[in-house]
Amino acid sequence: MNTPRSSSPPLRSPEQLRGDPDGLVLVTRDDPGFEEARVDRIFNRRLPGRQPAAVVRPETEAEVVAAVRLARERGWQVAVRSGGHSWAQWSVRDDALVIDLGGLHELEYDQETGIVRASPSTPGGAELAPYLAERGRMFVGGHCPTVGIGGFLLQGGQGWNARGWGWAVEHVVAVDVVTAAGELVRADATQHADLFWAARGAGPGFPGVVTRFHLRTRPLPRHFAHTVQAFDLADFDEVMTWLHDTHHTVADTVEIVALTKTDPRLAPGPVLLVTALTMVDDEQEADQALAPFRKNPALDRAILVLDNEPTTPEAERARQLEDNPEGHRWAVDNAWLSGPASEVVPAMRRAYTTLPNEKAFTIWFSMAPLRELPDMAFSVQSEVYLAAYVPWEDAAEDERHLTWLAGAMADLAPVTVGQYLGDSDLRRRPHRFLSEEAWGRLQQVYADRDPDRLFVGYLA
């Protein structure tokens, strides 16, 4: 990691970054190690058969510039890999040059501005979070600590306490981008503003390679506490109806998640967990913020109740790692839900009460009360987010798990208003993830910045 300094490094000119294409280490289909490079750092091991033209792992911005220019010269499209979960494996694309950003390593904090600069492959929880905590700061990064920040941020970034602190991408103040023309530019609200707008929500449809994020941090809260309530699935309707009608009244310092998962420490089968995590200044503020959960009407039947119990960011991240095991095949889908509890709760029932295996889990994530979004590509949300995550290991079980997920999402269709790119696979269930206005505006960015569609765009 670089040592902190007080000002942003100046961008070098395109001439300084022209690079030597012959110096790039390309791994092509005929080379030893191609298969490993093709799927290197791919989290979902339900691997696709798509065959890129070549893979390159640049270690400098100059090499990223050279790779983009080389792709144009050879008539290849470009796909970018940052290192997130990428359930659809966006970066594995037929006949494209895969630019794997795992070789870029930068993490640098500016004490005067509170801005941290980080490379796209930086793991948000495993690396960025402890680096900032040492400096008394935090970033509203992703929940699973091993996820690289690149794709997470480009897709919006549903991070810690998004309902109160906003989407992670709202805390991006600038991005450094290699464009389709092979030029390195800095994009922010005042320069290359079209790229800055698109980088905050376009996801894998972004027409460029982000080589560096400039992120606004916030003070690390002094006190972390959570309330956890576990229920038998027979209480699903009552608990979720109460939560659906109550969550908008809870203080915006509380992250509210309800999930169904299997935890043998609680019961032999799946249980419903209502969790509330608050990140505040002291125990008294936490107690007040978590007080509404003491009015859960099914509390006297709870299997477990933890009320305003102190916790730590490290403990919360460890739980996320436990729920997101490496080396598995995955099927994941999601929906933004809207409507009264009488319609939403029954629609969720299959996703919550019929999990297909002991590792699967479904989450309900509160975003209420909704705030107006800033001017950025990310533009679809609702008061409730639901996502179902299904990991397994045996390829023979693929169809069974995919069928279950499709059925669960079909039940949600009447109350679905959109989806979040970060948990989507548009090939299996395309749905609205940008507003019509944002989609039209993104087409203009393509026309201006990448008219030849050098970058592969969405996999659908």
Domain boundary (201, 220, 239) is at 220
Same domain, 160 and 292: no
pLDDT along the chain (460 residues), means of 10: 34 37 83 96 96 97 97 98 93 98 97 98 95 97 93 96 96 98 98 98 97 98 98 98 98 98 95 98 97 98 98 93 94 98 98 98 97 96 98 98 98 98 91 96 98 94
CATH number, domain with residue 61: 3.30.43.10
Same domain, 130 and 156: yes
Q: Quick check: is 31 in a domain? A: yes
pLDDT recorded at residue 22:
53
Same domain, 268 and 169: no
Domain boundary (220, 237, 266) is at 220
Domain count, the chain: 3
Q: Quick check: is 32 in a domain? A: yes
Q: Which domain holds residue 36?
A: 21-102
Domain boundary (193, 220, 247) is at 220
Same domain, 48 and 119: no
Same domain, 324 and 232: yes
Coil, helix or strand for 292? helix
Helix (H) or strand (E) holding 417: strand 416-418
Helix (H) or strand (E) holding 364: strand 361-366
CATH number, domain with residue 306: 3.40.462.20
Q: Quick check: is 284 in a domain? A: yes
Q: Quick check: is 387 in a domain? A: yes
State residue 288 phi and psi, 5-degree precision: -70, -40
Q: Quick check: is 268 in a domain? A: yes
Gap between the Cα atoms of 286 and 282, Å rounded: 6
pLDDT recorded at residue 7:
32
3-state helix, strand, coil in the chain (%, to 5): 35, 25, 40
Same domain, 390 and 289: yes
CATH number, domain with residue 166: 3.30.465.10
pLDDT recorded at residue 23:
74
Same domain, 377 and 272: yes
Same domain, 127 and 256: no
Q: Provide the token pair at 388.
A: 């179902």
Q: Quick check: is 1 in a domain? A: no
Q: Quick check: is 372 in a domain? A: yes
- Please write the tens of the pLDDT for every residue from 353-375: 999 999 999 999 999 999 999 99
Q: Provide the token pair at 165.
A: 């602190």
Same domain, 229 and 93: no
Same domain, 163 and 234: no
Q: Provide the token pair at 106.
A: 């930068």
Q: In Å, what is the CA distance from 323 to each residue of 312, 332, 445?
A: 17, 13, 38
Same domain, 384 and 316: yes
Q: Quick check: is 428 in a domain? A: no
Beta strands in 180-323 (DSSP E): 184-187, 208-216, 218-219, 223-231, 254-262, 270-280, 304-310
Same domain, 207 and 72: no
